[in-house]
Amino acid sequence: MADRNRFVTLNRHVAGGPVEETVFSLAEGTRPAPGDGEVLLRPLALSVDPYLRGQMTGIDTFYLPQFALGQPITSLGVGRVVESRHPGFAAGDLVQGVMQWADYSLWSGSDTLKGVGALGPVDPAIDKLSHALGVYGLNGMTALFGMVGVARPEPGDTVLVSGAAGGIGAVAGQIAHILGARVIGLAGSQAKCDTLVRDLGFDAALNYRSATLADDLRQAMPRGPDIYFDNVGGAVSQAVMAMMRRHTRVVECGQISTYDDENGGWTVDIRPIHANGLIWESFTTAHFAEFYPGGLAQLIHWVRAGKIKILETEHRGLEAAPRAMVGLLRGENIGKMVVTLE
Q: How many CB atoms lie within 10 A of CB 208?
A: 26
Query: In whole angstroms, how close is the CB of 288 to a copy of itself at the nearest point?
Result: 9
Contact between 82 and a copy of itself per CB under 8 A: no
Contact between 92 and a copy of itself per CB under 8 A: no
- In single-letter form, the type of residue at position 132 comes to A
Q: Given candidates 277, 294, 307, 319, which one binds a copy of itself under the rule CB under 8 A? A: 277
Beta carbon nearer to a copy of itself, 93 or 260 = 260
Q: What whole-number distance in Å separates Cα of residue 183 and Cα of residue 154? A: 12
Rg of the chain on CA atoms, in Å? 20
Contact between 214 and a copy of itself per CB under 8 A: no
In the range 303-332, which residues lie near a copy of itself by CB under 8 A?
none
Contacts of 36 (CB under 8 A, 6+ apart): 85
Query: In whole angstroms, how close is the CB of 43 to a copy of itself at the nearest point?
Result: 27
Query: In whole angstroms, how close is the CB of 171 to a copy of itself at the nearest point?
Result: 19
Contact between 290 and a copy of itself per CB under 8 A: no
Beta carbon nearer to a copy of itself, 28 or 281 = 281
Q: What whole-number distance in Å separates Cα of residue 103 and Cα of residue 43? A: 7
Contact between 275 and a copy of itself per CB under 8 A: yes
Greatest Cα-to-Cα distance within the chain, rounded to the nearest angstrom:
64
Contacts of 326 (CB under 8 A, 6+ apart): 18, 19, 20, 21
Contact between 283 and a copy of itself per CB under 8 A: yes
- In single-letter form, the type of residue at position 270 comes to I
Quick check: 329 and 166 in contact, CB under 8 A? no
Query: In whole angstroms, how close is the CB of 141 to a copy of itself at the nearest point?
Result: 14
Query: In whole angstroms, how close is the CB of 152 to a copy of itself at the nearest point?
Result: 13
Beta carbon nearer to a copy of itself, 178 or 273 = 273
Quick check: 133 and 45 in contact, CB under 8 A? yes
Contact between 269 and a copy of itself per CB under 8 A: yes
Nearest by Cα to 11 from 65, 51, 59, 68: 68
Contact between 279 and a copy of itself per CB under 8 A: yes
In the range 52-71, which residues lie near a copy of itself by CB under 8 A?
61-63
Could you give the C-alpha distances from 341 to 6, 102, 131, 261, 336, in angstroms and in order? 12, 10, 14, 32, 16
Name the DSSP class of 218: H
Q: How many CB atoms lie within 10 A of CB 319?
A: 13
Contact between 128 and a copy of itself per CB under 8 A: no
Q: How many CA atoms lie within 13 A of 47 on its CB side?
A: 29
Contact between 291 and a copy of itself per CB under 8 A: no
Segment interacting with a copy of itself, rule: CB under 8 A, options 156-164, 263-271, 294-302, 306-314? 263-271
Q: Given candidates 1, 36, 110, 274, which one binds a copy of itself under the rule CB under 8 A? A: 274
Contact between 235 and a copy of itself per CB under 8 A: no
Q: What whole-number distance in Å separates Cα of residue 307 and Cα of residue 147? A: 15
Instruction: Kindly state the number of chain residues that form the binding site for a copy of itself, as judged by CB under 8 A.
Output: 27
Query: In whole angstroms, how close is the CB of 76 to a copy of itself at the nearest point?
Result: 18
Beta carbon nearer to a copy of itself, 62 or 293 = 62
| Residue numbers at the binding site for a copy of itself (CB under 8 A) | 61-63, 242, 246, 252, 255, 266-284, 287
